[in-house]
A = this chain, B = another copy of it.
Amino acid sequence: MALLDYKIATIGSHSALQILKGAKDEGFSTIVICIKGREKPYKMYNVADEIITIKDYNEFPKIQDTLLKKKAIIIPHASFITYMGHADVEKFNVPYYGNKKILKYEEDRDLERKWLKNSGLTLPKIFKSPKDIDRSVIVKFHGAKGGKGYFIAKNERDFNKKIKFHPNEKNYVIQEYILGVHMYIHYFHSSLTNEIEIMGFDKRYESNVDSLGRISSRDQLALPAEKVDPSYVIVGNMPLVVRESYLPRIIEMGENVVKQSKKMVPRGLFGPFCLETVMTPEEEISVFEISARIVAGTNPYTHGSPYTWLKYDKPMSTGRRIALEIKNAIRKNQLNKVLG
C-alpha cells in the first residue's frame, strides 16, 4: 500500500501541533479532531489537512468508522487518553500508535510503582498511613483538582493538622518530599530497531508555584496563607539540557524501563515516553512518575531539540519521530510492530 494512503490523526490539544506538523514533514496527510470552537490553532499554523469537529469528546467513538475509512492512524496523547478513558481506548478499533496494553500500568499507581522499582529506579518513599511518616512528605491529591492543594508536612502531627483543610479529599498519596530540581526526560524507543533515543529534557512551568519564589519571605509571611499556598497547575514548559555526564545513567534508566515492560506485556513499551524526575544535590535521580506516551514537555522542540539535532540532519520533534517510525514500519511492511 502506498505511503500516502495512510493518514495521521490526533485530537486537537496537548501536543497535536507537533504531531501534525511532524506527520506532514514525513509526507503524511493529517486529520485533527477538534471540539467545536477549538480549531483555530490548527488552522493558524496550517498543520491539518482535515479538521473533524465534534461537540464533545464522548462523540469520539462515533467517528471511528469515518477514521477507519480514511485509513487514519491515531496518535494518542494525554488529552486523548483522559478524554476517551482508559477502557474506551482499549476498545477503540482505529489503528493506534503504541501499545494499548501498557496503559493500565501507567494508570494504576501500584502497577506503575512496581514497574519502575523493578526497573531498578530510585523512587520516593510512599507512606501508606500518616502514622508511618518519618520524614518530610508532600501530600498530593488526585483527580479533578489537577495540582491544586498539594501540601508539605514535616511529620504526622503536621499532616493531621493540614489535612483538615481538605475535608472532602479522600484520594491522596503521602510521598517522601525530595528536595531537588525537577527534570522531565523524553525518550523514544523504536519497536522496529529496538533502540532508544533521548529526545530532550524540559522543566515544567507551573502556576503558581513557579512564581512563589518571586515573593520575598517577609511578604509571604505577611500575606494570608491561602494567598501564597503553592499549586502545581502546568501552564507551559521550558527547554533545558542536562549535565552531559548524567547521560549514560539516564540512557540506562530508559533501557531498563523498556526491558522491564517486556516482562509485563507482549512487545512492552515503545514509542515516546517520559520519566518525571527530581535531581538531588547528591546527584541521585529520583523518579516519581512515568508517562507511556508523548508528553507536552516535548513542545518546546517542534523544530528539534539540542539532542535530536545531534542525530538528525532535519528538525526532528517527537511528533515527527512518531511519523518517521510509522513510515519506516510501512516501508518494511511491519505496521503490526508499531500499532496498538
A contact residues vs B (CB 8 Å cutoff): 13-18, 21, 37-41, 44-47, 79, 136, 147-148, 151-152, 154, 158, 177, 179-183, 195-198, 201, 203, 205-225, 227-231, 233-248, 251-252, 278-281, 283, 296, 299-304, 306-307, 309-311, 315
Contacts and interface: CB of A to CB of B under 8 A. Distances in A.
B296 A307 contact: no
B281 A245 contact: no
A216 B236 contact: no
A210 B222 contact: no
Nearest 3 Cβ contacts at the A-B interface: A213-B213, A231-B281, A303-B309
Given A136-B223, A212-B213, A241-B300, A46 B311 contact: yes
A247 B40 contact: yes
Contact of A243 (B136, B231, B235): B235
29 contacts: A13-B245, A15-B244, A16-B244, A17-B310, A21-B309, A44-B195, A44-B197, A44-B198, A46-B310, A151-B219, A152-B215, A152-B222, A154-B223, A179-B228, A181-B206, A181-B235, A182-B211, A183-B236, A207-B279, A207-B280, A212-B214, A213-B213, A216-B228, A217-B221, A238-B240, A243-B296, A299-B306, A301-B306, A303-B304
Given A218-B220, A218-B225, A244-B14, A309 B302 contact: yes
Contacts of A315: 309
A242 B247 contact: no
A244 B181 contact: no
A180 B44 CA distance: 28
A236 B242 contact: yes
A198 B42 CA distance: 12
B223 A281 contact: no
Given A44-B311, A180-B207, A182-B211, A245 B14 contact: yes
Contacts of A223: 136, 152, 154
Nearest to A232: B281
Residue among A216, A224, A242 with most chain B CB within 10 A? A216
Given A212-B214, A229-B216, A299-B306, A243 B248 contact: no
A274 to B, nearest CB: 15
A15 B299 CA distance: 24
A179 B213 contact: no
Contacts of A197: 44
Contacts of A205: 181, 183, 203, 240
A281 B235 CA distance: 9
Contacts of A14: 244-245
